[in-house]
Amino acid sequence: MQKALLKVENLSFKYDKEYVLKDINFELYDKDFFAITGPNGGGKSTLIKLILNILKPQFGTIELNNSIKSSLDIGYVPQNTNINLDFPISVLDVAMMGNGSKHNTLKRALNINYTKLEIECAKNSLAKVGMQGFLNTKISNLSGGQRQRVMIARAICSHPKLLILDEPTSSIDINGQKEIYSLLKELNRDITILVVTHDLTVISNYANRVLYVNQEGFLHNLKQDRFRVNKDEHFCEVELMQMLGKNGGQN
Amino acid sequence: MVDKTNGRVKLMIEALHYTFVQNALLAAIMVSIVAGIIGSLILVNKMTFLAGGIAHSSYGGIGLAIYFGLPIFFGASLFAVFSAIIIALISFKQRHRLDIFIGLVWAVGMAIGIIFVDLTPGYNVDLMSYLFGSILAVSKEDLIFMATLVVIVLIFIHRFYKEILAVSYDSEYATLRGINAKLFFTLILILSALTVVVAIKVVGLILVIALMTMPTYIAEQISNSLYGMMIKSAIIASIFTITGLAISYQFDITSGAAIIIVGATILSIFMLIKKILA
* Model pLDDT for residues A130-182, shown as the tens digit of each residue: 999 999 999 989 888 899 999 999 999 888 889 999 988 887 888 888 888 88
Which range is least confidently modeled, A56-60, B2-6, B192-196?
A: B2-6
Residues belonging to chain B with any Cβ–Cβ distance to chain A shorter than 8 Å: 44, 158-159, 161-162, 165-166, 168-170, 172-178, 219-221, 223-226, 228-229
Residue type, A229: V
Q: Pairing state of beta strands A209-214 and A216-221? A: antiparallel
* Residue, of A131 and A98, whose pLDDT is higher: A131
Non-local (6+) Cβ contacts of A217 within 8 A are A21, A23, A24, A25, A26, A211, A251
Residue count of chain B, please give it: 278
Which residue among A88, A94, A112 places its CB closest to the CB of B159?
A: A112
Which residue among B165, B172, B177 places its CB closest to the CB of A54?
A: B172
Which residue among A86, A97, A112 places its CB closest to the CB of B166?
A: A97
pLDDT of residue B1: 54
- Residue A226 distance to chain B (closest CA, Å): 38
- Residue B174 distance to chain A (closest CA, Å): 8
Residues of A in contact with B218 (CB under 8 A): none
Residues of A in contact with B44 (CB under 8 A): 84, 86-88
Q: Which domains does chain A have, with CATH numbers?
A: 1-68+161-251 (3.40.50.300), 84-158 (no CATH)
**pLDDT tens digits for B220-242?**
999 989 999 999 999 999 999 99
- Residue B269 distance to chain A (closest CA, Å): 20
Helix axis angle for B208-221 and B19-44, nearest 10°, is: 60
How far apart are the two ends of chain B, measured CA to CA in Å?
38
| Contact across the interface for B174 and A97, Cβ inside 8 Å | yes
A141 φ, ψ to 5°? -90, 5
* Reported pTM: 0.84
User: What CATH superfamily is the domain B2-277?
Assistant: ABC transporter involved in vitamin B12 uptake, BtuC (1.10.3470.10)
Residues of A in contact with B278 (CB under 8 A): none
Domain ranges of chain B: 2-277
CB A213 within 8 A of CB A44: yes
Average predicted confidence (pLDDT) for chain B: 89
Beta-ladder partners of A6: A28, A64
